[in-house]
Amino acid sequence: MTAYSEFGRRVKANASDGTDHGTAGALFVMGDRVKGGFYGEQPSLTDLDDGDLKSTTDFRGVYGELLHGLLRTDPARVLDRVPEPLGFLV
| Average pLDDT score over residue span 27-35 | 91
Of the candidates 60, 23, 54, the one whose C-alpha atom is nearest the C-alpha of residue 41 is 54
**pLDDT class of 76 with cuts at 50, 70, 90:** very high
Range of the domain at 15: 1-90
Number of separate domains in the chain: 1
- Return the percentage of the chain with pLDDT > 70, whole number: 93
pTM more than 0.85: no
